[in-house]
């Protein structure tokens, strides 16, 4: 019984930490690197026939060149709505519309902007680290309650805390690797 409480607690913490990592990865993908990536705009909300829908549901996205992103609407009637949504977004890119597709050309980033983006990515990574630590704290609290209720022994509690620390360190390390990769990508000229 004791082991099932501990293993469930640690497994639950592991799953939640994995979701925190996935969220951080999505956040990193939304930071522009000077390269075209569908992840930058696929979740952009477009006003389409009175309903707000994600761009990926009404248009195909492709990257024919490293700094060019093509948006091909499934319905040509949505072209102007897509163009408006891109202009109103915080991308800072002016779309060019030829009547059938929208072409986004990403300019190369200057040194100052690259450094700003690195700061943004570091802040997002720190938010993820804090989330992971909070998950560890919540799991420890649950284990403390179980120990006080007599469901697990003090030795089991210490073993579980060591396991939680190991899992936490594993995910923080994974996050640090993701951050280093994104920083390298941003500073690359």
Per-residue pLDDT of the chain (189 residues; tens, 9 = 90+): 457 888 899 999 999 999 999 999 888 877 766 677 787 787 788 898 888 998 888 999 888 888 888 999 998 888 888 988 888 877 777 888 888 899 988 877 788 878 888 888 999 999 999 999 999 999 999 999 988 998 888 898 899 999 999 999 999 999 999 999 999 888 876
Kindly report each contact of residues 142-145 with a partner whose C-beta sits within 8 Å and lies 24 or more positions away, as own/partner.
142/9, 143/5, 143/6, 143/9
pLDDT at 189: 63
Burial class of residue 149 (count of CB atoms within 10 Å of its CB; 0-12, 13-18, 19+)? exposed
Rounded to whole angstroms, the Cα distance separating 42 from 52 reads: 13
Beta bridge partners of 59: 73
What are the structural domains of the chain?
2-30+110-187 (1.10.132.20), 38-105 (3.30.1360.40)
The structure's pTM equals: 0.69
Three-class SS state of 151: coil
Per-residue pLDDT reduced to its tens digit, 28-45 = 877 766 677 787 787 788
pLDDT, one tens digit per residue, over 145-174 is 988 998 888 898 899 999 999 999 999 999
């Amino acid at each position: 019984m004791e082991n099932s409480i501990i293993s469930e607690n640690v497994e639950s913490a592991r799953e939640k930490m994995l979701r925190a990592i996935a969220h951080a990865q999505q956040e990193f993908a939304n930071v522009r690197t000077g390269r075209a990536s569908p992840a930058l705009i696929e979740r952009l909300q477009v006003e389409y026939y009175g309903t707000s829908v994600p761009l990926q549901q009404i248009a195909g996205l492709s990257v024919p060149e490293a700094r060019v992103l093509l948006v091909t609407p499934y319905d040509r009637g949505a072209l102007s709505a897509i163009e408006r949504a891109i202009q109103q977004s915080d991308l800072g890119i002016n779309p060019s519309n030829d009547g059938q597709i929208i072409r986004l050309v990403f300019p190369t980033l200057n040194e100052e902007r690259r450094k700003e983006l690195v700061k943004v990515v570091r802040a997002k990574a720190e938010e993820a680290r804090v989330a992971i630590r909070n998950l560890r704290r919540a799991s420890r609290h649950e284990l403390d309650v179980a120990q006080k209720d007599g469901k697990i022994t003090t030795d089991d509690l210490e073993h579980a805390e060591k396991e939680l620390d190991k899992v936490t360190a594993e995910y923080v390390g994974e996050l640090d690797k993701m951050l280093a990769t994104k920083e390298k990508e941003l500073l690359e000229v």
